[in-house]
Structure 1
Amino acid sequence: MYKILVVEDDIKLNDLITEYLQRYKYEVVNIQDFKNVDTELEKSNADLVLLDINLPYYDGFQLCKTFRRVSKIPVIIISSRSSDEEQIRGIELGADDYIVKPFNFDFLLAKIQAGIRRVYGEYANESNILESDGGIKLNKDTFKIFYNQIELELSKNEFKLLNMLIKNENKIVSREELLEELWDDSFFVDDNTLTVNITRIRNKLKKLGVSEAISTKRGVGYIFHTTANKGN
């Protein structure tokens, strides 16, 4: 039985979510002390977290960021904040998904099941470390990149792109494929989003002492070089 931690201060909604998930044999834990919600998050031993943003005493976005530093378990934000900017912020801070209130409970269940499959089910057997032939390591659990004794954090989008590029070393990955990798039904992704994130990845690679690892194939896509050039 999987344990779901519900961080929601709306008592009525909290009760509805709890009742619904228990019907599908999930163990549900609710936050009792919103003054110490960060502590309860860490001690919950939950398998997945449903996290509201508008909480007493705490900012849900900051909680998501803090929690993501110490745990890889799925975090799904449930919030009435529906703007693209808010949804993008949540995903960038480490949330696995973002559901806007009011929502359909069957839709919520599908999102929870997908998150659990990804971490604990059929997709969970891959190694958590992806290493390029040039020795650049990507940690799938922490979204961190490691090389030359230096470790840097990546945003979720940066991680998705670099993960795909390293998996296809010395092969051109089209812009369409990369955009599809970034696509999420909770917010709009355009060509500019891809360009901005590729630029950010290049800058972080330079901080690791690696330059020109990602080449642009104009009008086609990008290629990650097996032998990345070391910067000075």
Structure 2
Amino acid sequence: MYKILVVEDDIKLNNLITEYLQRYKYEVVNIQDFKNVDTELEKSNADLVLLDINLPYYDGFQLCKTFRRVSKIPVIIISSRCSDEEQIRGIELGADDYIVKPFNFDFLLAKIQAGIRRAYGEYANESNILESDGGIKLNKDTFKILYNHIELELSKNEFKLLNMLIKNENKIVSREELLEELWDDSFFVDDNTLTVNITRIRNKLKKLGVSEAISTKRGVGYIFHTTANKGN
């Protein structure tokens, strides 16, 4: 399991990043003491650092420069500063990548995977597995679902939908959001396509011994439940 250190003083964003990365089996550590962030950074023993620039007490650019003198750990800057000059400055001071806020979390994950691959010569295999709180696992590489030692294949559309529902576990995902996830220029997508694929996912979950994991919120969308009826 790879350890990610998040140096971000925005509590809401910090929590969102932490929750998202933990879903992909990363160990996430957050800086608590920003007055001594330089010391915290050096002793974190992390495999990769996500570093904000606008921090209390410290300038993130200077922090990156100082840290790079003593460590080769990958550093990805995450900042609302979006000018070309600032992005170039971040890279020149030692950052391995620069992501402008607001960003897509899947994009962030891809950047982290690339950084780890470059630094350590391998993919973080655990990060390709999305696991629900109830133990249902999705493999992003094979499009397979695993639960209770039973593994089933999913179609591309089934995977897209279930992946989005599990990432938003216990929250309603609207039909519009799901249709957008399915949208592909190569074929027509409509409400019937969504309904058919949700039915197929439910049937496959039943084969795994899980029923009623996905409920319909009529006129709104669907919700994936942490607690679902499980067979023997």
Gaps of 5+ in 2: none
d(CA) in 1 for partners of 2:98 and 2:39?
Answer: 23
The TM-score, its normalising length taken from structure 1, stands at: 0.53
3-state DSSP of counterpart to 1:20: helix
Structure 1 residues 113 and 130 mapped into 2: Cα distance closer, same or farther (>3 Å)? Answer: closer
Cα offsets for 1:3-55 (capped at 9, x unmatched): 00000000000000000000000000000100000000001000000000000
Structure 1 residues 172 and 104 mapped into 2: Cα distance closer, same or farther (>3 Å)? Answer: closer
Moved more, 184-193 or 77-86: 184-193
Structure 1 residues 198 and 76 mapped into 2: Cα distance closer, same or farther (>3 Å)? Answer: farther
1:78 CA drift (Å): 0.1
d(CA) in 1 for partners of 2:24 and 2:90?
Answer: 27
d(CA) in 1 for partners of 2:20 and 2:169?
Answer: 45
Q: Kindly, what percent of the aligned residue pairs are identical?
A: 98
Moved more, 132-141 or 75-84: 132-141
Gaps of 5+ in 1: none
1:104 CA drift (Å): 0.2
3-state DSSP of counterpart to 1:127: helix
Moved more, 169-178 or 77-86: 169-178
1:202 matched residue in structure 2: 202
Residue pair 1:130, 1:138 contacting (<8 A) in 2 also: yes
d(CA) in 2 for partners of 1:125 and 1:159?
Answer: 18
Residue pair 1:92, 1:155 contacting (<8 A) in 2 also: no
- RMSD over aligned CA atoms reads 16.0
Structure 1 residues 206 and 83 mapped into 2: Cα distance closer, same or farther (>3 Å)? Answer: farther
d(CA) in 1 for partners of 2:23 and 2:169?
Answer: 46
d(CA) in 2 for partners of 1:193 and 1:231?
Answer: 28
Cα offsets for 1:180-231 (capped at 9, x unmatched): 9999999999999999999999999999999999999999999999999999
Residue pair 1:50, 1:76 contacting (<8 A) in 2 also: yes
Moved more, 46-55 or 214-223: 214-223
Cα offsets for 1:84-136 (capped at 9, x unmatched): 01000000000000000000000000000000001112499999999999999
Residue pair 1:72, 1:141 contacting (<8 A) in 2 also: no
1:177 CA drift (Å): 41
Moved more, 185-194 or 47-56: 185-194
Residue pair 1:146, 1:152 contacting (<8 A) in 2 also: yes
Residue pair 2:25, 2:129 contacting (<8 A) in 1 also: no
d(CA) in 2 for partners of 1:88 and 1:174?
Answer: 39
Moved more, 219-228 or 55-64: 219-228
Cα offsets for 1:127-183 (capped at 9, x unmatched): 999999999999999999999999999999999999999999999999999999999
Residue pair 1:130, 1:137 contacting (<8 A) in 2 also: yes
d(CA) in 1 for partners of 2:69 and 2:153?
Answer: 10
Residue pair 1:84, 1:188 contacting (<8 A) in 2 also: no
The TM-score, its normalising length taken from structure 2, stands at: 0.53
Structure 1 residues 100 and 174 mapped into 2: Cα distance closer, same or farther (>3 Å)? Answer: closer
Structure 1 residues 69 and 174 mapped into 2: Cα distance closer, same or farther (>3 Å)? Answer: farther
Structure 1 residues 11 and 208 mapped into 2: Cα distance closer, same or farther (>3 Å)? Answer: closer
d(CA) in 1 for partners of 2:119 and 2:97?
Answer: 13
Residue pair 2:136, 2:147 contacting (<8 A) in 1 also: yes
Residue pair 2:137, 2:146 contacting (<8 A) in 1 also: yes
In the comparison of the two structures, how many residue pairs are matched? 232
